[in-house]
Amino acid sequence: MTAQTCPRQHQRTTMEIASLEPSLYTVKAVFILDNDGNRLLSKYYDKELYPSMKEQKNFEKNVFNKTHKADNEIAFVEGMTIVYKCSIDLFFYVAGSAQENELMLMAVLNCLFESLGQILRKNVERRCLLDNMDGVFLVVDEIIDGGVILESDPQQVIQKVNYRLDGSEQAYGFDLFDYIVGNIDGQTDRSQCA
């Protein structure tokens, strides 16, 4: 945790030096917002960065306002590098310090997105995410631990979480049935509402 110096002050004063203190603490924050910019999940890993809930939500608002119009993948807000992705009515964000390797942040974002895609059977949208919130919490927990990238391979994450879509036994049954009778489309319908 020694590397967790205050990012705002730190980066403003040392931006010129720009050599990053070698550290595993790569991720400053992760959050998922809906298409109104409301928080569905957020984790801040640097205690000195936005210590209060109000600051966090302001930051999220600010990020949302700057990113929701165009899917540009990367932005720089309030002195932090933000990589993001949107899917239907969801926005996924991973934030790191200004000097952080953008590709490492991208690796985290991709892992998060793909893991959730698998857990939610490709229905990465708000309703489905909220219905499986426990799985989402577990996925985030397996990818990042206290700001350290714990796992970046979605397959590994899925395996570790070992999460089954809610009501999945039943759903599997239907899937099998659908499969047998050739009604592949039904599968999507069902899992969407699962």
Partner 1 sequence: MIKKFDKKDEESGSGSNPFQHLEKSAVLQEARIFNETPINPRRCLHILTKIIYLLNQGEHFGTMEATEAFFAMTRLFQSNDQTLRRMCYLTIKEMANISEDVIIVTSSLTKDMTGKEDVYRGPAIRALCRITDTTMLQAIERYMKQAIVDKVPSVSSSALVSSLHMVKMSYDVVKRWVNEAQEAASSDNIMVQYHALGLLYHLRKNDRLAVSKMLNKFTKSGLKSPFAYCMLIRIASKLLEETEAGHDSPLFDFIESCLRNKHEMVVYEAASAIVHMPNCTARELAPAVSVLQLFCSSPKAALRYAAVRTLNKVAMKHPSAVTACNLDLENLITDSNRSIATLAITTLLKTGSESSVDRLMKQISSFVSEISDEFKVVVVQAISALCQKYPRKHSVMMNFLSNMLRDDGGFEYKRAIVDCIISIIEENPESKETGLAHLCEFIEDCEHTVLATKILHLLGKEGPRTPSPSKYIRFIFNRVVLESEAVRAAAVSALAKFGAQNDDLLPSVLVLMQRCMMDSDDEVRDRATFYMNVLQQKQKALNAAYIFNGLSVSVPGLEKSLHQYTLEPTEKPFDMKSVPLANTPITEQKTEFAPVATSKLPEKPGPTRQDIYQEQLAAIPEFQGLGSLFKTSEAVQLTEAETEYVVRCVKHTFARHMVFQFDCTNTLNDQLLQKVMVQMEPSEAYEVLHYVPAANLPYSQPGSCYSLVRLPEDDPTAVSCTFSCTLKYLVKDCDPNTGEPDDDGYDDEYVLEDLEVTVADHIQKVLKPNFAAAWDEVGDDFEKEETFALASVRTLDEAVGHISLFPVVYVEAVGHISLFPVVSVEAVGHISLFPVVSVEAVGHISLFPVVSVEAVGHISLFPVVSVEAVGHISLFPVVSVEAVGHISLFPVVYVEAVGHISLFPVVSVEAVGHISLFPVVSVEAVGHISLFPVVSVEAVGHISLFPVVSVEAVGHISLFPVVSVEAVGHISLFPVVSVEAVGHISLFPVVSVEAVGHISLFPVVSVEAVGHISLFPVVSVEAVGHISLFPVISVEAVGHISLLSL
Residue 49 beta carbon to partner 1: minimum distance, rounded to whole angstroms: 15
Q: Which amino acid is at 26?
A: T
Determine the 3-state secondary structure of 191 from DSSP.
helix
Residue 167 beta carbon to partner 1: minimum distance, rounded to whole angstroms: 4
Residue 179 beta carbon to partner 1: minimum distance, rounded to whole angstroms: 19
Q: Compute, in degrees rounded to 10, the torsion defined by CA atoms 38, 114, 145, 139.
A: 70
Residue 180 beta carbon to partner 1: minimum distance, rounded to whole angstroms: 21
Cβ atoms 134, 116 nearer than 8 A: no
Residue 151 beta carbon to partner 1: minimum distance, rounded to whole angstroms: 6
Residue 160 pairs in a beta bridge with none
CB nearer partner 1, residue 18 or residue 181: 18
What residue spans of 1-52 are helical by DSSP H? 7-14
Cβ atoms 35, 56 nearer than 8 A: no
CB nearer partner 1, residue 39 or residue 68: 39
Residue 97 pairs in a beta bridge with 80
CB nearer partner 1, residue 57 or residue 68: 57
CB nearer partner 1, residue 83 or residue 95: 83
Of 170, 192, 177, 72, the closest CA to residue 121 belongs to 192
